[in-house]
Amino acid sequence: MARKSGDGEDRPTPAQIELARLIANRHEVQLRFGFESDGAWTRKFLDVFAYDPEMEEDVFRRLRNVAQYVREGRDMPEMARKIGLRADQVEFMIEVLRDSDYDMDEVVEDFDTDPEDAAWRDMERDYEARQVEYY
């Protein structure tokens, strides 16, 4: 249950703040500056990163998979489907991981789709391989 400050702000409870800190430490992610005053953000963090003790590995798996999917350049609906979260939850997870300096730079490979170019490249590799002398 969130509490209202004197000025009507939605603030997380002390228990939510402490749990968010514990979970952030466990997953090696950084909490947003001022999260103690932002009930909506803290609850969203807990919703995405908190876990049932019997299902703790699921969160670690999701973190690994999301980072990999971002590097592969997959789209949001596919990532959400594969890890079992809503798209907005995946976006939030990616935002937290990026703020925590997770290595998630998209790997863009220059795929050559022209079959003729690919054939020439294969012939060049074959020629180079045959040039190596084995003793």
Calculate mean pLDDT across residues 60-70. 88
Give percent of the chain above pLDDT 90.
35
Average pLDDT of the chain is: 79
Which tokens sit at 19?
Answer: 């749990």
pLDDT classification of 57: cutoffs 50, 70, 90 = confident
User: What's the farthest any 2 CA atoms get from each other in the chain?
Assistant: 83
3 φ/ψ angles, rounded to the nearest 5 degrees: -120, 155
66, 93 contact by CB (below 8 A): yes
CA distance 94 to 78: 14
Q: Tens digit of pLDDT for each residue in 96-117?
A: 998 888 877 765 555 455 555 5
Indicate yes or no: pTM above 0.75. no
